[in-house]
């Protein structure tokens, strides 16, 4: 009897294990299909999640800014407090004018001064506790939202439009598993394209349907590239500019850099020095390369010349390489923006450890599904993204 029970028990366990194996295989098959990068539903779901989260973060930062602006006004009304804590007002004014900031919370210098308020009166003691609580709550929410944003940004692909910190952005994220990035200057007869319309027509004649076209680096009055330029059809057109003398232009705001794609379709955004070290003796390993400047982000650090309070606002465009992923992020602002804020977006939202400025006021982007009539502008090099 015991033998029969054990036998049935073994059969029962075997059936359970077989069933679990079938379920596991089915689950893995489901998720493998769900996570295919060319699955439109999966891409749309990730993109929608990202847009919702960046909208939430934008709203949270607006609430935070308004709170500190109101706090600053209230403090200015208190003459006694102004006399005793002028340093606090200076710190608050600096904070209000910094145009930041994704991860920043109220600076410690301000908190230190707020703690001193409790020595002035019971009222200020209560206020200081409220301020501290608000600051901690906002900080926790920002950390949580930023974590979700970064996780979702790694997964998104294709075109996006959103508003963040009062600036509208158009973004395209190229994934080397499903996208091909190409660089263009002239046709086979050496006629310069100069416009998205002409390049689009040229590509369509070759049975290539562009998903995105944008300006691909700085150029001279004759539309020739300022720095290094390599494309697939004509190979090396212009050699690497290795000069180190600072000039009064963006290209020569050092470090400048290079965006390139190698023959294995790996994406790179490198400073000119790093590019020279890695590729100067191996240019044949590159499909395309365009040199521009300045670098916006270098090894996850924002360019040292950028100022958070800068009033130098222009249309900005750039390209970044996502850390740990073979994805390239192309960003064009729809209204004037600072270098600093553009760099913040690449680094802190899209996790780009390196990002390169492509150009300023002339910058545009063509997305068939978003802005199909955006053909205006005259350009030198142009970058196109299509499906493989």
Domain spans of the chain? 40-151, 157-387
pLDDT at 125 over 90: no
Q: Which residues contact 22 (CB under 8 A, 6 or more apart)?
A: none
Secondary structure class of 353 (helix, strand, coil): strand
pLDDT at 328 over 90: yes
- Asked if 57 and 149 touch (Cβ cutoff 8 Å), the reply is yes
pLDDT for the residue 141 = 87
Bigger pLDDT: 126 or 45? Answer: 45
pLDDT for the residue 356 = 98
Instruction: Kindly indicate the confidence band of residue 77, based on its pLDDT and cuts at 50, 70 and 90.
Output: low
Instruction: Kindly indicate the confidence band of residue 246, based on its pLDDT and cuts at 50, 70 and 90.
Output: confident
Secondary structure class of 295 (helix, strand, coil): strand
pLDDT for the residue 69 = 73
Instruction: Kindly indicate the confidence band of residue 40, based on its pLDDT and cuts at 50, 70 and 90.
Output: confident
Distance CA 129, CA 371 (A): 49
Give the tokens for residue 210: 């562009």
Distance CA 200, CA 209 (A): 8
List the end-to-end C-alpha distance of the chain, in Å, as a whole number.
65
CB atoms within 10 A of CB 345: 28
Q: Which residues contact 32 (CB under 8 A, 6 or more apart)?
A: none
Chain centroid, CA 86 distance in Å: 38
């Amino acid at each position: 009897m015991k033998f029969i029970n054990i036998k049935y028990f073994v059969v029962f366990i075997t059936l359970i294990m077989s069933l679990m194996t079938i379920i596991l295989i089915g689950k893995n098959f489901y998720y493998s299909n769900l996570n295919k990068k060319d699955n439109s539903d999966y891409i749309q779901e990730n993109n929608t999640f990202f847009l919702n989260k960046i909208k939430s973060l934008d709203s949270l930062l607006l609430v935070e800014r308004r709170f500190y602006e109101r706090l600053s006004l209230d403090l200015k009304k208190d003459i006694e407090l102004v006399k005793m804590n002028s340093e606090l007002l200076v710190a608050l004014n600096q904070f209000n004018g910094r145009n930041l900031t994704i991860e920043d919370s109220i600076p410690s210098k301000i908190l230190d001064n707020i703690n001193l308020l409790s020595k002035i009166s019971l009222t200020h003691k209560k206020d200081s506790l409220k301020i501290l609580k608000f600051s901690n709550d906002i900080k926790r929410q920002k950390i949580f939202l930023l974590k979700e944003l970064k996780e979702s940004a790694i997964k998104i692909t294709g075109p996006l439009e959103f508003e963040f910190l009062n600036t509208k952005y158009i973004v395209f994220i190229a994934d080397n598993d499903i996208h091909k990035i190409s660089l263009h200057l002239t046709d086979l007869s050496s006629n310069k394209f100069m416009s998205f319309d002409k390049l689009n027509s040229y590509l369509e004649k070759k049975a290539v349907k562009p998903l995105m076209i944008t300006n691909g680096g700085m150029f001279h009055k004759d539309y020739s590239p300022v720095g290094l330029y390599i494309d697939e059809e004509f190979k090396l057109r212009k050699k690497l500019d290795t000069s180190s003398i600072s000039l009064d232009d963006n290209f020569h705001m050092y470090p400048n850099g290079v965006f390139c794609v190698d023959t294995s379709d790996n994406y790179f955004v490198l400073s000119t020095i790093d590019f020279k070290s890695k590729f100067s003796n191996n240019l044949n390993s590159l499909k395309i390369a365009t040199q521009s400047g300045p670098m916006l982000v270098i090894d996850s650090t924002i360019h040292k010349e950028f100022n958070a309070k800068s009033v130098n606002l222009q249309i900005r465009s750039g390209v970044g390489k996502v850390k740990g992923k073979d994805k390239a992020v192309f960003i064009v602002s729809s209204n004037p923006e600072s270098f600093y804020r553009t760099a913040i977006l690449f680094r802190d939202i899209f996790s780009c450890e390196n990002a390169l400025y492509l150009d300023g006021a002339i910058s545009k982007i063509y997305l068939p599904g978003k802005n199909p009539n955006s053909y205006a502008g005259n350009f030198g090099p142009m970058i196109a993204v299509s499906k493989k």
